[in-house]
Amino acid sequence: DTAVSQTPKYLVTQMGNDKSIKCEQNLGHDTMYWYKQDSKKFLKIMFSYNNKELIINETVPNRFSPKSPDKAHLNLHINSLELGDSAVYFCASSHQANEQYFGPGTRLTVT
């Protein structure tokens, strides 16, 4: 009965590869998010979807493409991975944006 789940938990890959991270929430929330947390712990929003529609799209390279097949899922696909993409990626969901529930995170390491 995990609220927000992400897979995989760890992802190690080489530069230039394409990878995906999956996220699912069973809280019945309408809004889902992707965040990137860098090595300095700075948490920055990347995307937000409400009922499968993109509502926030921060300045993120277009190598990052979110996909929301339904309101319980928000996946993140990353093309042509770069060293600077190494970070922890958190998925979150909320009913109201001021109270978000985060997944356990995916630690991405690009070598």
Partner 1 sequence: GQSLEQPSEVTAVEGAIVQINCTYQTSGFYGLSWYQQHDGGAPTFLSYNALDGLEETGRFSSFLSRSDSYGYLLLQELQMKDSASYFCAVRGVDKIIFGKGTRLHILP
| Interface with partner 1 (CB under 8 A) | 33, 35, 40-45, 48, 55-56, 90, 92, 97-105
CA dihedral 10, 62, 57, 111 (to 10 degrees): 20
Phi, psi angles (nearest 5°) of residue 33: -140, 155
- The minimum distance between CB 52 and partner 1, in angstroms, equals 18
CB nearer to partner 1: pick between 48 and 68: 48
Q: Are 87 and 74 in contact (CB under 8 A)?
A: no
Query: Which residue lies nearer to partner 1 by CB, 86 or 101?
Result: 101
Between 14 and 98, CB nearer to partner 1: 98
